[in-house]
């Protein structure tokens, strides 16, 4: 079962000083930068529990990751992507899975933070560490953890209790990216634990839009004619 990695606190005793950051989120996303944009993947595989055993389903996914303005908690600074992923089974229109949240990069701690919320009444916060140029990284969360934990509605907690979560991301040489995730479940009446897994590879179908602060800076440059001087027509 996964134990969440506790990322370092590098800020000392001063918890009120506001961090200074850059306007351009895309330039400061560290290992998350290759994920920015709109993606589609048609080779998803989901292994989930059913009565008497398990079931494996193929799925098609659209994953949108939009840069947001820098975020601060006093001296702590994040650059991030707001995401929405929507999943259907091949040839169907009914939603198989819908999920929203944020991918965050904390440069000072070399930390990746991932949040997840789904409309079945569950949310989690996961974290891990990575180098700014990493092409692989992993985030984890665990039930009951004060840092990087899992929260579920009463029915899910009773019937399909999620004990831990792990997600590994790999940026591929061809520009695509892949993920493999595992949620370890405790299900009444079953011996042992069930490992609910999902994986997919995503291909870019749309470029990211700059974050609002970067867009504003670009508009100000254009109004002064700076874009023409730079040859950015």
Cβ neighbours for 81, distance < 8 A, ≥ 6 positions apart: 29, 32, 35, 36, 65, 66, 67, 68, 102, 103, 104
8-31 confidence digits (pLDDT tens)? 789 999 999 999 999 999 999 999
187-211 confidence digits (pLDDT tens)? 999 999 999 999 999 999 999 999 9
Q: What is the distance between the alpha carbons of residues 76 and 107, in angstroms, rounded to a whole number?
A: 9
Average pLDDT for 102-114: 98
Cβ neighbours for 1, distance < 8 A, ≥ 6 positions apart: 142, 163, 164, 184, 193
Per-residue pLDDT band at 1 (split at 50, 70, 90): low
Closest CA to 124 of 113, 116, 134, 132: 116
Closest CA to 5 of 150, 151, 152, 113: 113
Q: What is the distance between the alpha carbons of residues 113 and 79, in angstroms, rounded to a whole number?
A: 10
130-145 confidence digits (pLDDT tens)? 999 999 999 999 999 9
Q: What is the distance between the alpha carbons of residues 63 and 68, in angstroms, rounded to a whole number?
A: 16
Average pLDDT for 92-98: 98
Given this model, what pLDDT does residue 229 score?
41
Percent of the chain at pLDDT > 70 equals 93
Q: Give the number of other CB atoms < 10 A from CB of residue 7.
A: 19
Per-residue pLDDT band at 226 (split at 50, 70, 90): very low
Contact 140, 128 (CB under 8 A): yes
Q: What is the distance between the alpha carbons of residues 92 and 122, in angstroms, rounded to a whole number?
A: 24
The values of phi and psi at residue 231, to 5°, are 75, 30
Closest CA to 139 of 125, 122, 153: 125
The answer, yes or no, to whether residue 177 has pLDDT greater than 50, is yes
Distance of CA 202 to the CA centre of its chain: 14
Pick 84 or 231 by higher pLDDT: 84
Per-residue pLDDT band at 110 (split at 50, 70, 90): very high
Q: What is the distance between the alpha carbons of residues 46 and 181, in angstroms, rounded to a whole number?
A: 10
Q: Tell me the sheet residues that pair with 118.
A: 122
Taken in order of first residue, the domains within the chain and their CATH numbers are 26-230 (2.40.128.20)
Given this model, what pLDDT does residue 79 score?
98
Instruction: State the DSSP string of 137-180.
Output: EEEEEEET-SSSEEEE-HHHHHHSEEEEEEEEEEE-TTS-EEEE
**pTM: predicted TM-score of the whole model, two decimal places:** 0.91
| Residues found in the chain | 233
Percent of the chain at pLDDT > 90 equals 87
Q: Tell me the sheet residues that pair with 137.
A: 169
Given this model, what pLDDT does residue 232 score?
41
26-72 confidence digits (pLDDT tens)? 999 999 999 999 999 999 999 999 998 999 999 999 999 999 999 99
Per-residue pLDDT band at 7 (split at 50, 70, 90): confident
């Amino acid at each position: 079962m996964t134990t969440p990695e506790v990322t370092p606190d590098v800020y000392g005793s001063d918890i009120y000083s506001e961090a200074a950051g850059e306007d351009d989120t895309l330039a400061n996303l560290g290992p998350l930068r290759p994920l920015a944009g709109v993606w589609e993947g048609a080779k998803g595989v989901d292994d989930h529990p059913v009565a008497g055993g398990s079931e494996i389903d193929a799925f098609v996914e659209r994953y949108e990751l939009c840069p947001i303005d820098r975020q601060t908690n006093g001296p702590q600074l994040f650059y991030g992507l707001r995401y929405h992923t929507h999943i259907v089974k091949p040839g169907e229109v009914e939603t198989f899975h819908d999920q929203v949240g944020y991918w965050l990069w904390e440069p000072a701690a070399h930390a990746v933070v991932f949040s997840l919320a789904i409309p079945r009444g569950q949310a989690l916060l996961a974290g891990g560490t990575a180098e700014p140029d990493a092409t692989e990284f992993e985030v984890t969360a665990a039930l009951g953890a004060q840092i990087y934990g899992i929260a579920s509605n009463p029915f899910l907690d009773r019937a399909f209790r999620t004990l831990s979560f792990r997600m590994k991301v790999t940026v591929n040489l061809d520009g695509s990216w892949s993920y493999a995730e595992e949620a370890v479940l405790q299900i009444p009446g079953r011996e042992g634990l069930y490992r609910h897994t999902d994986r997919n590879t995503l291909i870019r179908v749309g470029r990211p839009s700059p974050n609002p602060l970067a867009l504003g800076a670009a508009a100000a440059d254009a109004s002064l004619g700076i874009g023409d001087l730079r040859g950015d027509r």
